Each structure stands twice: as structure tokens, then as C-alpha cells.
Structure 1
Amino acid sequence: MVAVHRPIAGTVAAALTGRRGECAVLDDLVRALRAGDSRALVVHGEAGVGKTALLDHLAVEAQGCRVARAAGIQSEMELPFAALHQLCAPMLDRLDRLPAPQRDALRTMFGLSAGRAPDRFLVGLAVLGLLSAVAEQQPLLCLVDDQQWLDRASTQVLAFVARRLGAESVGLVFAAPDVHPELAALPDLRVGALPDADARTLLDEALAGPIDARVRDQIVAEARGNPLALLELPQGITPAELAGGFGLPGAGAGGIEEQFERRVSALPEPTRRLLLLMAADPAGDPAVLARAAAVRGIGPGAEGPAADAGLADFGARARFRHPLVRSAVYRSAPADERRAAHQALADATDPRQEPDRRAWHRAAATAGPDEDVAAELDRSAGRAQARGGLAAAAAFLQRAAALTPDPARRAGRALAAAEAEVQTGGFDAALDLLDVAADGPLSDDQQAGVDLVRAELAFVANRGNDAPPLLLKAAERLARVDPALSRATYLDALSAAIFAGRLAAPGGDVHDVARAARTAPAAPDPGAADLLLDGTAAAYNDGYAAGLPALRAALRDFGAGLSTTEELDLLWMASTTALRLWDDERWDALSARHLELARETGMLSQLPLALTTRAYLLLFSGDLAGAASLTAETTAITEATGTNLAPYSALGLAAFRGDEPAAAALLDATTIDVTQRGEGVGITFAEWANALLHNGLGNYREALAAAERATAYQSDQGALIWPAVELIEAASRAEAAPAAVAMFDRLAAMTSASGTDWALGIQARAQALLTDDDAAEGHYRAAIEHLERTRLRVDLARAHLLYGEWLRRDRRRTDAREHLRTANEMFDEMGTAAFAARAGRELRAAGGSSNPRVPAPQDELTVQEAQIARMAAGGLSNPEIATRLFISARTVQYHLRKVFTKLGITSRGQLDRVLPAG
């Protein structure tokens, strides 16, 4: 086939007639890139409105910038990371600039090396790092056309990158008919219809001869301001008709594709068949196209008429003049002709070089069930999954299931496709695939697999109340075929029931699940997971103390003999168990281990829970600065990944700080969110935080009301440990002694059985509040003695505060000042402002004086600046900080320069000197 190059009608200059406002926006974007900023933008509007022309204008105007382009291709929507290959392949010489996990993720994704399938958000962070590294040489402008036809994996990654851009000098501009949901948070530029005056100007510029005024008016009216319509409608009309004013066939902007169809239908048959091959495989490889043309019996010269008509260009890459030409060619072809074209392309595609493209063509060429083709798609799914292309794997498996003649095998493939869809967030598609799987004959383990995916879907989608009953159903089925997996599923059901809490569905209450867990198959050699299951079930079935032996054994040597994956799967439950056992040492160790492993492995699905658990350990330890850093990191991850987790750590931080406006807003948002999702533990948590806030502020009746709401659900006694403490303090101050005594009995049943210093210290402090005589002093002293042996400085400071308040009421002002000053200084140092103010008021009432903390330079830092400064002071490098915050290393450096200026220092080595300890 000879190369034919002919100019295609409609230049950039013509297409930009009437687009002064749009061009100004794009020119501002380029100026921002040159100034060192980053920008993302979605250019959207109907087909033919000139989006591609605006991208071309942007590329021309971006002098001094490196321009990279990619375009969505409809037939490549199921090939994993196809668009990222287009965009990033020329940049891979900068891979060595990335941290090892990101470098390895990209190498695996691009098929350059074998390895564990990378997390898609790790791939996103790697692409952000790659673009940033390229932009170090000169500003980088990435233009992505026809975004609606990008493969799902590429869309997810590029949307992630666009949301995380900062100070890299990177521009990322998408063009699409509509704003994709993944891009909804980005700035957008809507390209509308041209005004009539500009439409007439464009039409006159495009015509070579005269035109009758009535014909001009009709074309302008029917084009409705669409530039492509203005350029295309006159194409099928003779000069005489244009000049003579004869009527036009109706077309309009909505009929541009029909106009292309008419022009294509006028071409010779060999040319139409060649265009159909191009439409079926838009990679545009001339060698593949030539081989496929030979298979279809298309001789040399068939491309000439299409090029003469301005419909296609055949050069280094065969391409259509506009995507609507491709759509018109493919849509107008009969089904048997389409299948023949795909078969020819399959025959022309090298199975060793491009097996997945060949498999997809074979599937498109197949009219009915075909196990050979289905098996080839199955193998393509495996390759896609190995590269982290779960969306593509799901598509291959879904098509394979549709082509599988054997019902049992079809059900298995549909189930595998559903599992992949759940992991990529395709929840609606997963439900449809589960219905397909359920129609087939299923073995016991397959049926259990369907139940498990349904449960996982319920839990991952909203962490709500649907999951526990579904997990129980799966666990019961698995008991016959896989006892170990059955026990693991029972433990998952308990975890889900804890989340569901007071909003549990019928049969999904934590006691229902615990009773069912009694029937779990026995473990021949119990490990940590088995002990967690048995101990948790015993605690709910037989009382708090009954679960202690197994649970303590589970935590004693936790991690021994477990793989990294197994350990990660269990660490949230293990950390939560340590908390419920009042074991602050193991809570500290296990929460630190959970966070460490989640970061090391890049398991971003685990990170929000790990960060939240660790943030609470730091809050109770009095390290509010550290908790704030982890909270900001959690926010960055949930924003970047769309993780469905209520802002628990942010709400707790606001409550500890005594920040009433922030806490109130977070409380409302959390309550609405968790109620809609059926996550009842969130209501308990939110009301506990509300009670803590008001106890700190000294609003004891408000604190009591919140604590009563927090403790209204008493089925899960482990969830009462924090709310019970707040209720007892608030009730003792609000003259509601019966409520305090009743709750103390429940609290003491746990703390006495636990026997740790934390538990006994809390018990003694609560006992002191309920003691009217001089015996209270012994309880306060015991509380301080026990809590001094823990890392829980907030609880210790509260014991000093309560003891000091009691001493002042007992008119022992000197002794009172000692403990109130200790409390005031501890609270002030930790940043628990409401409690510090309460202690200060009491200290002044006892005749002492308090010295509020003087604002320091670090108070001027933004949340992100403070977080970056803290990480840098802790020894993390810029790439390490960037990885944790899902930003680029250049953005980290940008923020550090601002930090240095505000703090009056010149290097990161001076941060320790100016930042507070801890």
C-alpha cells in the first residue's frame, strides 16, 4: 500500500474562529506552566465543536514546553493502560529518577519486567513522579484527546495525577464530549456553539466559491454553531447548487455522522472495506493494515479515493480525519462485514507480539459461543491482571464468559470477572456478573465464592450493614469445602458486624454473628487468626472476661508464622483487640506495625484504617501534632483513592483540641455519612467525640447527652470503653449519679478483668468521681500512679485535673494548685486547648496563675506545610514525603521553601531547632 498524504480540510486557524475566550483560558494555562505551577483542565463539548482544534492551538502556543499527546481509541478501551503507553512511553528514560516501588510498578505496568501486580494508585503516584521528573528539564504539557474512549485503567490513573498536581510545571488537559465522573473535581472549560456571526465567517473562509445567501442561512441554521458541521455540510453540494440557492438535504450538527456515512457510501467497495479495517483496529499500523487488506482481497490503490475525499490520511500512521468518520464507517457496515474485518485483523496480528489485541479481534469476529476464543481471552485476562490492569482483566473475563459454551465454566469466568470489577470500583458491573454466575451450575466452593464477592461488595462499597449476613452465609458454605477459609470468613463477619454496630441488618448483629461463629470448623493448630476468632466470639457470647485468654494469646506473638498478606489482613482486628483489652503497649506496637506494612507494600486499601488506628494511639498519648500529620495523610489518601471511610481521625483530633466549630461540622458530616451507609460504629464514635469535646469545654450536660447517645447501643461492650469514661465524668458533674453508677458497673467489669495499668487507672479515676467522702483521694492517687506507667498522657493529665478540682472543692488550695498546674502545663504542651483552658480556670480559682502558650512561628504554617515540615524533621526525604502525601517531590520542595521562609531558617537540618518536640 502506497503512502498518500493530502491536506485535510479545516485548519486550526479556521477552527478557532470565534474561540477567543477559550484560547485566552488555554493561554493562561501555558503561562502558569512557564511560571512553575501545574494545571489540569477538562475541555468538553459536543462532537465537532472544535475540542481537538483547541488542543492543537494549545500545542502551538506552548513554546518552550515539552508537549506529549495521547488519544482515546474506542477499540482499545479494554487494553490495560493503552493510553498511558501512548503518553508515557517516550519518557521512560526518566524511570531511574523514581523511588524503587514506583519504578517497579511502572516497569510491571508497561510489561518491561515481571512482578507483583501493582496497586493502581501506586501506578498513579509513579506516573505523577515520572511527569514531574520530565518537567525538571522544561515545563511539560500533556494533551489527552477523546478521553471518553480511554481504557478505564488509564482514566483512573490520569484522573489521580490531575487531582494531585502541585508545583511541578505539568499541565494535563483532557478533551471529551462530557466530563467523566473520574474528572468531575477538575476545572473545566465548556466549548459551546459558535455565534451566528462567527459561524458565517467560518463558513465563508472554508468555501472556495460563491454561495447564495439563502443557502448560507440554511447551512448556518442547520449547523447550529457546530464548526465541523459548518465545514462538512457543504461537502456534498456542487458549486452550482451553492451559488444557485437550491435546497439542502437536512443534516445539522446531530447529522454529521450521517453526512459522513453518505460520503463513505459513495466510495468504491475496496475503499470502503479498507476503511472498515481501519475503523476496527485504529492503531493505524500500516503493516498490520496491509496484511489484513491482503486477507480481505483488497488490492493496491484502495486508499486513494478516501484520501481524495478528505476522509482519511495514509502516512506513517493511517488515521481518519475525525473520530466521527470512524464511527460512521463502523456503524454503517453490516454485522457480517464487521466480523470479517476483525477476523482479518486477528490473522494479521502477531500472536507473540500482541496476543491481547489478537484475542480481542478474535472475540469481535465470533458470532456465537467458542471455547477456544474464550480460553484465549482468559489468558489475556491473566496477563492484564499481572500488570495491574484489573479493569481490562474484568473486560476480558466478561467477554470470555459470554463466549463460553459450558455453563459451569461460564459461571466461573463471570465470578472471576466480578471479583476484578469489585477491586476496580465497578460495583454495578460486578452485581450484573454475579447474576450471570448465579445462573450457572455452581459447586459449593463457587457458590461460596459468589456469597463472598457479594459480601465484599457490600463492605467495600459502603462498610454498611449488608455485609455481616452475607459473610455468614459464605462462611457456612465454606465450612464443608474449605474449613480454614470458613474460619477466616467468620472473623471477617465479626469485623463487619463491629462496623455495622447499632445499624446491623437482621441476623447481622454482633451477637448473632458471634453465636454463628461457635459453629465454625475447629482449627487443628490454632494460629493468631483462629485465636482472634475464638476469643472475640467468646467475649460476645460469654462475657468480656471469657475472651481474654484467647485474645491475649493471639496478640502475644502476633505476626509469627504469618505471611505479609496474612499479617496485613489481620492487623486492624489485632490493633482494635489490643485497644479493647486496654493494652496500650500492644496497641502501640500493632498500630505501628500495621502502618509500616501498609506503607512498605503499597497496600493503599489498608492505609486509611492503619493511619486512623495509629492516629488515635498518638491522640491518647498526647502527640496531637503527630496525629494531625497522620490525619492529613489520611485525607490525602481518601481524596486520592476515593476510599469510603468517615473522617474519624479528623473528628477525634478536633475533639481533643477542643475545636468546637470544626468538631461540629465533622460530627454532622460523619453522622449523615455513616447512617446512610449503615456503619453504626460511626455513630457511637461521633457521639463519643462530641462528649469528649464538651467535657473538655466544661459543658457537662451537653457531654452527658452525647455520651448517652454514644452508649445507647450496648450490645458491643468493647465499643463502650471510651464513651463510658465520658458519661461517668459528665454525669458526675451534671448531678446524674444513677446514670454514672450504672455505667461504672459496666466499665469496671471490663477494667477489673483486664487488669492493665491503663484499665485500672481509668477505673480508679471513675471510682473517685463517684466517691463523696475522703476515700476519693485514694482513688485519684491510684489513678495517677497507674496512668503514669502508661504512654497515655491525656488520661494522666485528666486525672491530675480531676484530682485538682476535687482538692479545690475540699479547700486544699495549695495541693490543688500543684495538680492543676501540672494538668494545665501538660494540656497546653499537648495542644488539648479546651482541657488546658478548663485547667487554667480551675488553677486561677485556686489562687494560682496560668501562662497560656505564646503563638510560635510554626503556628503560621498551613496544615500541609506543617505536615511536610514534621516529616522532613523526622528524616524523610522529599520522595518519601511525596509518596506518603500523594504529591510529587517537586511539590514537597516547593512547600519546604515556604516553610523555611516562615520559620526563618535555611535548611531542613534546622527544623529540629524550631519545631516543638514530639
Structure 2
Amino acid sequence: MSTGLIERDAQLAIATELLERAVAGGGGLLVVEGLAGTGKTRLLAELTAVARERDAAILTARGGELELDVTYGIARQLFERRLHEASAEERDRLLAGAARLAQAAVGSDADVVFSPETGVDHGLYWLVANLEAEGPLVLVIDDAQWADVASARFLLYLARRVDSLRVLLMLGIRSGEEPADPGLIHHLRAQADRRVVVESLTAAGSEALLRGTFDGTLPAAAIEACHRVSGGNPFLLGQVAGELVTSAPADERALLERINTLIPSEVRLSILLRLGRLDDRARHFAEALAVAGEGASTTLVAAIADLDPLAVTGPLDELTRAGLTQAGDVARFVHPVVRTAVYADISLGRREELHAAAARALADQRAPVEEIAHHLVLTSPRGDERVSGTLREAAERALARGAIQTATALLRRALAEPPAPSDLPAVLVGLGEAALRDGSIPESIQHLGRALELEPPPELAVRTAVALGTAYSAQGRIDDAFAALEREGVRLGGAAQLRLDAERALLANWIRDTTTPPWRDQLLRDFAALEGRTPEERFALVQAGLFVSFDRDGRSDAAVVIAHKALGAGALTAEFPVDSVAGAQAPYVLVMAEDLDAAERERVALFARARDHGSISELLMASFISGQSALARGRLASAAADFEVALDLALTLGESPVGLRSVAFACTWMVEALLGRGQVEAARTVLAGAEALDAFERPELVWARAGRAFFRLGVEHDADGAAADFLAFGEAALAGGYEERGALWRVWAAPALAAAGAHERAVALADEQLAISTTWGAPGGLGTAQRIRAVVGDPAEAEARLTEAVDSLRRSAYKLELARALLDLGRALRRDGQRSRARSTLEESMELAARCEAAPLVADARAELTVLGARPRRAMFSGVDALTAAERRVAEMAAGGMGNREIAQALFVTEKTVETHLHRTFRKLSISSRRQLPQELRAV
């Protein structure tokens, strides 16, 4: 393979093999690494040429050390031009489906809701998929170590799914540079299908390069010296050679002395010397290009340099002949080292002038506000209120995207400008919110308090007071938080006061273990009497419903009434901000109160909104509600599928409180559902993943210990270990001061304690839960508590207690729990010699367990029937019963009429994953078409 590259054939061959595989349909990630100047960019260029020969579409981007704060800057470079050049019809096709969410990153669609947890990365993935539908696609990102955090996160999201597409993702990463987010770059490296390291040239390689440059006229001693001073770095070697071409002494001794002075710092100096030899227009163009950044249009650079756009060819050609820039569609330096050298040499005053000119030029071109602000932040304050306004707008977008440091820098600069008096509160609020999210609580309190002193308009005042209350709470200053919320509520009055009173109640609901404000209960009772006619009333009703649900003395019928008023016939789900978990709290109350049909209706609406907006948080909440409802009904396969989706989504939220709590609960409930089906190895895998996260040691993930306890008790028969885990879960709930009705830890812990020999404590916990469940009044939870009390108590009382449990459970939707109670009752009846009644009871248990796909429970019921001398039919878990949780979920969605692409977009998976699940489903069900799915699924 002859390419003109020196000592790079092996790397090129490895990369070409991966390219061929991607073109054939098996996409992948190639990482090309090397120190600055070793030739990774040249290797990527060669690979790009090879890809073009294979008729692959090429999209390119390049990171820049001066553009790290431009959110989704890499994504914009990749796709913005392609979308701009597309016809309206083609653009609609490329942005169809979930891909429309990409507009928040690469477009200016104001209708796209965007936040750190909205699926913009999901949208960008589907934009890539839509582009790939036209043919093989190669995405080339050089200097990826300088990718902004949002773009790096997208690249990782894509890399984990690219194997299902005809897409090769090629990343050039410069070694020895500190990325914006080292963790993301580390994960990208780890995700690579192949990594190619571009080393410095050997002595032979340096000789080959230099002999080509000097046509064999450079003495061997000089070649050796050039290799030594450059370290074999091709870029530095080329710079040394360039200096010698223009000023090489004729005497060999003098030549060697000259070479020895050309150390890397001198090479950088030589760049500036070459620039200094050029005319003013070329120098001004180079300075403007250094300020504009990689890939800037010549029109933009000309505007910055105050040159005629039609007269830039001359300066650009002059720079190219000097070896400083390279020819192409856009203006580029030959290497980032050149740009750095040129930029650093510009005087501070001149640099600010150029950045100001860049901001004006970009504004004239209607560029995204972030790009304009990137330059404005590098200028000194001049009292221009318009500058402050632009910086604030860019900061708000950065804050929404999770770019906290960028937002803070922009807002501080806006504050220094300074802003117009009418804009000052908003700037202070933005700074306060950024500091709060960054953990700088004292600074947050300072900015937010000052903003409230300025008495901002109501909407901003509510936002400010809520943030200030949160900041005070984070410092443990609960009374100050209550006072700030109350004081601002009284000042504003009306709907704003109700909104802030609801925030006070929300805070009071979660600190009940430390203090109970004297006004809390009355305030929440007042909320419960509201009709739910406005968003503020509905939010207040959510707090009232949660209060009733989490209170030990709460009643389910009252909670249901409040929850329905809060929901407002769908109004609550529609009006809550995207990604707000509060939108799912009222449906969760319905699940806890066992109004499962109503909860399911709300889950469908929440799921639809999550899919439309690409909201990870809302899809997570919808999956939890669906999973808990399915688990309660005994639909174990559906429950496991829901919790599998929830776990995957929760993991994408990282170290956020919502993410951590969701990971822990998803692990626990998924393990419960899997073990209920007898899928021991699948449950073991889930727990191994939790252990890899150190979930069983970290307090914020303590809820995952309940999942491990299920496994310890049911599989490993470690009653002591299971009891310890269940009790740790319970202690966390008690410390939080609430009754977690979706996780009855006392019911779980009591059998483990009894098995460990701690009978008195087991009975005490069972009695406690029975009292709580009796007051709550929901029949499923009551029957469950009654069953456990019978199991751990006096065997002489078991039959009567279990009969009560069965009666309660028959009035509920808890079919699996009913099957368990019937099994326990059948055992008690058999021991009491009531064989006929025992047999009918056990047969009903076995039938219900089979409908729930609860293989272990079926086996237990059969074993009891066998002891009675019966010969029960063997329930064969085949067909639908044999489907995995994920296969079941995909099959249900396909049976409902959704196409493969729709399913993939809704579940945040790849289309290939959906195809794989359906292929396996067809095989297990012995069908050949998705048209047969509805009938097969209805049969169970």
C-alpha cells in the first residue's frame, strides 16, 4: 500500500480493515492516537481518501482548544452544513422521527425542548442513522481531546450503538493534552473497536522523509542531527527541514550547529518569523484565522480581518506557500501548533479587537448565540447592554445543556459589562443556579439573595425563591429556606404564593425526620381541599397526595381522590416541564393506592410525551410506573422489561440524585421480577452490574441492597445476609422519614429474620406493617401484610390469617401475591389434614402462578400437590412464557402496530437490537410474521 506516508502502512492496514467492515454493515469506532505532530491528522486524511473511494459519505469536524465552551460544537461541524445544503424535502427526511431532537444541538428550532436529560444525543444518533440510509457514512473527528463535553457525550452515545449501522466513527486524539472531560475520553478509548497509535519516526523514517525533501543532498550527519532535535516527530522534522531549505549554511559544521538550535521552542519561533516576512494582509488574515478557529469560512475570516471577501485569495495563497495554512474549502492552519503560536503572539488589545470583530461578524451572519458569546467573553467590558444580553442568552442555553462552567463564565462576564438594570436580576439568578448546580452553595445564596432584593417580576421571583430554598436546604439551613419561600410568597401573593407554599410543603415532606414545622400539616390539609383548576393548584395537590401516601396514618382512598384532582384529566402531565420527575408523582400515588388502571392511563400519556420529547427522565419515570404496576399485577415478564429499560436509562444520568436512586430501585425490582420467573442467572448479572457500581457500599445506592437480599434469601439461602440487607433498606427509609409503600421492606425483612431465627423481631415487623397497611386500606398491600404475618407467626393461627389474606387479595389486582397466599394456605390446610380443600387451593395457586409466568411458584405448588397424591399437569414454559423481558416488551410494541424504527426510537435502543429481539421472538413462538403477534400475546 503506497500512500506517501512513512512508517504508517501497518496502521493504515488496520484502519482500512475496520473501514471495509463498516461499509459492509458492521460499523465501528477507530481511535487514532499520537503526540502533537506525529501524523494522526495525515493518517486520518489518508483513511478519508480510502473511504471516498468506497463511495462512503464523509462528514468531518475538528476540536479546538479555544472552542471548548461551544456546546455541541463538534456535532454542529459534522451536521450543520449537510443539513443547510439539503433540500427542504431531504431535510425533513433526515430530521424525521427521533432525529428531530438533534435540532436542539445543530439547529435553531425553538419548539425543541432541551435540557441535560433530554434525548438530544438520541436525536443525533438517529440523524446519523437517517444519513446512513443513503449509504455508508464515515464521521471523522480530529483533535477529539478538545471536543466540548456535550459533543464528547454524544460521540460516546453513538460509539456504543454504531455497530448496527454502516458507519465508521474515526477519532483522532492527541496524547498528552488534558481533555475537557477526561472521563469521557477514557470511555471513548475503551469503546474503540481498534486503537492505532501513531509513533514518532524511527531514524530510518526520518532519513526517508529528509532525503525526499532534500533530494539526497543533506549529509548523513545532518540527517541524524535533524532526527535527534525533532525526536522523530514528523511535524517538527518538517519544520526543521523548512528552516534549512530557506537558510541552510553551506558549511557542514555550521549546518550542524544551526540544526542543534532548532529545538521545538525555536521551531515555534520560526513559525512567527515566517509570518513576519509576509505582507500586512497575510498577517492580518492569519491573526483573524487564529481567532476565528478551525474550519471558519473565508468570508468570516475576511470580516474579522477587515478585508474584502473577494480579495482573500492572495493572502491565503501567501500563507499556504509559507507552509502555515493548507488549501481547501475552508481556511485551516497546517497544524494546531501553528494556530497556537499565532494566537499567542497577538497582543492582548489587538486580540480583544479581533474577538469583538468576530462577534459582530457572526451576529451579522445570524450564527448561534453561543458562537457569538464565545468571542464576547474574551473581550473587556465596555458598558454595552446588548453584549450583556447576548452573554446571558448564551449562558441560559449553556446552563440548560448542563455546561455549568461555561454558563458561569458567560454570566460573570455579563455581570461585569454590566447588564441593563432590568436584566440584572436574571443574570444574578443564572449565576446563582449555576453555582448551586456546581456545589458552590455560599456563592449561590449570595447571588440569589441579591436578586430577590431587586424584587424581580413574579415568574423570575418564583424561580429565584425556589433555587434559594434549595441552596439553604443544601446547607442544612431549613428554617432559612422556609423563611425565604414564605417571605417571597407573601410579597407576590396570588398564584405565586400558592406555588411557593407548595415548595415549602415539598421541603417539609422530606425533612419530617428532623423537624415538623407547625404549619406543615394544616397547609397540606388546605392543599387537599383545592380543586386543581390551575397549574399552581395541581402542584400543591401533588404535595398533598404525597403527604398522605408517605404518612404512616395515611389512607389510600383519600390519596386517590387527591391524585386525580392533581392530574386534572391529563393537564398535570402536559404542563410540567420536560424531565421534571414531579410530573410522575401523582401517577405514582395511584400505584401505591392500587388504582392501577388509572395509573396505567397516565403512564401511557407520560410515555408518549417522553417519546415525543426524547426525555430520558420522563421515559424513566414512565417505565417505573409501568413496571411497578406490572409487578403488582404479577405480570413478571412485562415488569422485568420495564425495569430493564429503567435501569439502562438511569445509568445514562450518571451521578445525579435521580440517577443514583433510580439505578438502585431498578436493580431491586428487576431482580424481584426475574427471580419470580426463575431467571436466576439474569438476576445474578443485574447484581453483578450493581456491584461494579459499588452499589452495596454507597449510602446513596442503599436501596439496591434489597435486590441483593432477594437473591441471598431465595437463591443462596443466606437468611442472615438477606435480613441485614433488607433492614439496611428499611433504615434508609426510616431515616428519610417516610413510608415507602412501593417497597414494603418490613414484609421482605420479616421472613428473612424468621429464617435466621429472629422470630420475635420478625413478628414485630410483620405486626407493624400489618397495622400500617390496615390503616392505608389498599387490599393488595393489606393482603400481603396479612400473609407475611401468618407465615412468620404461630402456625396454629396460620389458617385463619391466611384465609383473611386470600380474601383481601381477591379484592385486589395482586394476582401473583394471591397465588403465594393460596400456596401458603394450601400448605396449612394440608398440614391440618384438610386434603380436599388443600388440593383445590393449591390447584388455583398453581394456575395463577402459571399465568404470572412464576416458574418457581408453580414448582412449589406442584410439589405440594404431589405430596397430596395428585398428578398435576406440568406447566410448560414455552412460547410466550419463554420470551425474555426485553423480547416481551418489543413484541408487545410490535403487536400494537409500531414499526421497528419507532420501537427503537421509543426505547432508546438501536434498530438492529429490535430486529434481533423480534427474530428470537418469532422463533420461540413458531410464527413467521408480526401480524401473528397480537393473537399469540393475547393467548396468555
Indicate whether the TM-score tops 0.5. Answer: yes
Counterparts of residues 172-187 of structure 1 (less than 5 Å): 172-178=169-175, 180-185=182-187, 186-187=191-192
Per mean C-alpha deviation after superposition, the further-off stretch among 396-405 and 617-626 is 396-405
Task: Sort the Cα spacing of 1:907 and 1:829 in 2 relative to 1 into closer, same or farther, 3 A.
Answer: same
Task: Sort the Cα spacing of 1:61 and 1:288 in 2 relative to 1 into closer, same or farther, 3 A.
Answer: closer
Distance 1:256 1:861 in 2: 65
Tell me, yes or no, if structure 1 residue 551 matches structure 2 residue 559.
yes
Partner SS, residue 36 of structure 2: coil
Tell me, yes or no, if structure 1 residue 164 matches structure 2 residue 161.
yes
Task: Sort the Cα spacing of 1:565 and 1:27 in 2 relative to 1 into closer, same or farther, 3 A.
Answer: same
Equivalent residue, structure 1, for 2:534: none
Contact 1:36–1:167 under 8 Å retained in 2: yes
Equivalent residue, structure 1, for 2:713: 694
Distance 1:298 1:95 in 2: 31
Task: Sort the Cα spacing of 1:846 and 1:255 in 2 relative to 1 into closer, same or farther, 3 A.
Answer: farther
Equivalent residue, structure 1, for 2:507: 493
Distance 2:305 2:470 in 1: 48
Shift of 1:184: 3.2
- Residue by residue over 1:111-141, the C-alpha shift from the partner in whole angstroms, topping out at 9 and shown as x without a partner, is 4643143456533222222222222232111
Shift of 1:235: 1.5
From 530, 535, 557, give the equivalent of 2:540.
530
Partner SS, residue 184 of structure 1: helix
Q: TM-score normalised to the size of structure 1? A: 0.83
Tell me, yes or no, if structure 1 residue 263 matches structure 2 residue 274.
yes
Give the partner amino acid of 1:319: R
Task: Sort the Cα spacing of 1:856 and 1:457 in 2 relative to 1 into closer, same or farther, 3 A.
Answer: farther
Contact 2:373–2:410 under 8 Å retained in 1: no
Distance 1:347 1:773 in 2: 84
- Residue by residue over 1:40-68, the C-alpha shift from the partner in whole angstroms, topping out at 9 and shown as x without a partner, is 23323221121211211211222131222
- Residue by residue over 1:342-401, the C-alpha shift from the partner in whole angstroms, topping out at 9 and shown as x without a partner, is 344445555363373555444434366654422232345567789999997666435323
Shift of 1:799: 0.3
Shift of 1:722: 1.5
Give the partner amino acid of 1:741: V
Per mean C-alpha deviation after superposition, the further-off stretch among 897-906 and 449-458 is 449-458
Shift of 1:153: 3.7
Distance 2:267 2:884 in 1: 52
Distance 1:812 1:135 in 2: 68
Equivalent residue, structure 2, for 1:399: 413
From 890, 904, 912, give the equivalent of 1:882.
904
Tell me, yes or no, if structure 1 residue 55 matches structure 2 residue 47.
no
Counterparts of residues 160-239 of structure 1 (less than 5 Å): 160-178=157-175, 180-185=182-187, 186-187=191-192, 188-237=195-244, 238-239=247-248
From 621, 633, 650, give the equivalent of 2:667.
650
Give the partner amino acid of 2:186: A
Equivalent residue, structure 2, for 1:5: none
Distance 2:470 2:508 in 1: 14
Contact 2:922–2:929 under 8 Å retained in 1: yes
Task: Sort the Cα spacing of 1:627 and 1:581 in 2 relative to 1 into closer, same or farther, 3 A.
Answer: closer
Partner SS, residue 744 of structure 2: helix
From 698, 718, 730, give the equivalent of 2:739.
718
Equivalent residue, structure 2, for 1:375: 389
Shift of 1:795: 0.7
Task: Sort the Cα spacing of 1:348 and 1:905 in 2 relative to 1 into closer, same or farther, 3 A.
Answer: same
Distance 2:517 2:561 in 1: 19
Distance 1:872 1:745 in 2: 46
Distance 1:197 1:747 in 2: 80
Partner SS, residue 512 of structure 1: coil
Tell me, yes or no, if structure 1 residue 72 matches structure 2 residue 63.
yes
Equivalent residue, structure 2, for 1:811: 833
Partner SS, residue 562 of structure 1: helix
- Residue by residue over 1:4-46, the C-alpha shift from the partner in whole angstroms, topping out at 9 and shown as x without a partner, is xxxxxxx9944x3212332122112211112211212332322
Shift of 1:451: 7.8
- Residue by residue over 1:434-491, the C-alpha shift from the partner in whole angstroms, topping out at 9 and shown as x without a partner, is 4883796762889996785588799xxxxxxx85947775443121113334333235
Identity within the alignment, %? 24
Equivalent residue, structure 2, for 1:910: 932
Tell me, yes or no, if structure 1 residue 747 matches structure 2 residue 769.
yes
Contact 2:668–2:703 under 8 Å retained in 1: no
Distance 1:834 1:706 in 2: 23
From 37, 53, 77, give the equivalent of 1:86.
77
Shift of 1:807: 1.8
Task: Sort the Cα spacing of 1:898 and 1:625 in 2 relative to 1 into closer, same or farther, 3 A.
Answer: closer
Contact 2:448–2:467 under 8 Å retained in 1: no
Task: Sort the Cα spacing of 1:734 and 1:109 in 2 relative to 1 into closer, same or farther, 3 A.
Answer: closer
Shift of 1:293: 3.4
- Residue by residue over 1:568-607, the C-alpha shift from the partner in whole angstroms, topping out at 9 and shown as x without a partner, is 6534432443454455555555555544443344332232
Tell me, yes or no, if structure 1 residue 480 matches structure 2 residue 472.
no
Task: Sort the Cα spacing of 1:691 and 1:78 in 2 relative to 1 into closer, same or farther, 3 A.
Answer: closer
RMSD across aligned C-alpha pairs, in angstroms?
4.3
Distance 1:787 1:613 in 2: 21
Distance 2:523 2:2 in 1: 70
Partner SS, residue 557 of structure 1: helix
Contact 1:77–1:150 under 8 Å retained in 2: yes
Q: TM-score normalised to the size of structure 2? A: 0.82
From 871, 887, 896, give the equivalent of 2:893.
871
Partner SS, residue 42 of structure 1: strand
Equivalent residue, structure 2, for 1:310: 323
Give the partner amino acid of 1:544: R
Distance 1:473 1:591 in 2: 37
Counterparts of residues 281-360 of structure 1 (less than 5 Å): 281-282=292-293, 283-294=295-306, 302-303=315-316, 305-313=318-326, 316-346=329-359, 348-349=361-362, 351=364, 353-354=366-367, 356=369, 357-358=371-372, 360=374
Per mean C-alpha deviation after superposition, the further-off stretch among 478-487 and 734-743 is 734-743
Equivalent residue, structure 1, for 2:19: 30
Counterparts of residues 14-25 of structure 1 (less than 5 Å): 14=4, 16-25=5-14
Contact 1:873–1:909 under 8 Å retained in 2: yes
Tell me, yes or no, if structure 1 residue 768 matches structure 2 residue 819.
no
Partner SS, residue 719 of structure 1: coil
Contact 1:401–1:411 under 8 Å retained in 2: no
Give the partner amino acid of 1:177: R
Equivalent residue, structure 1, for 2:494: none
Equivalent residue, structure 1, for 2:515: 512
Counterparts of residues 427-442 of structure 1 (less than 5 Å): 428=438, 434=444, 437=447
Counterparts of residues 239-250 of structure 1 (less than 5 Å): 239-240=248-249, 245-247=255-257, 248-250=259-261
Give the partner amino acid of 2:82: P
Distance 1:236 1:136 in 2: 49
Contact 2:428–2:450 under 8 Å retained in 1: no
Task: Sort the Cα spacing of 1:676 and 1:545 in 2 relative to 1 into closer, same or farther, 3 A.
Answer: same
Give the partner amino acid of 1:163: R
Equivalent residue, structure 2, for 1:122: 119
From 591, 603, 622, give the equivalent of 1:610.
622
Distance 2:197 2:465 in 1: 44
Task: Sort the Cα spacing of 1:395 and 1:334 in 2 relative to 1 into closer, same or farther, 3 A.
Answer: same
Shift of 1:790: 1.9
From 31, 41, 56, give the equivalent of 1:42.
31
Per mean C-alpha deviation after superposition, the further-off stretch among 221-230 and 186-195 is 186-195
Partner SS, residue 296 of structure 2: coil
Give the partner amino acid of 2:762: A
Distance 2:296 2:756 in 1: 78
Give the partner amino acid of 2:642: L
Which ranges of structure 2 fall in alignment gaps of 5 or more residues?
A: 490-496, 532-536
Contact 1:339–1:366 under 8 Å retained in 2: yes
Equivalent residue, structure 2, for 1:105: 101
Which ranges of structure 1 fall in alignment gaps of 5 or more residues?
A: 1-10, 459-465, 498-507
Shift of 1:249: 4.2
Give the partner amino acid of 1:130: L
Contact 2:123–2:614 under 8 Å retained in 1: no
Tell me, yes or no, if structure 1 residue 624 matches structure 2 residue 636.
yes
Partner SS, residue 803 of structure 1: helix
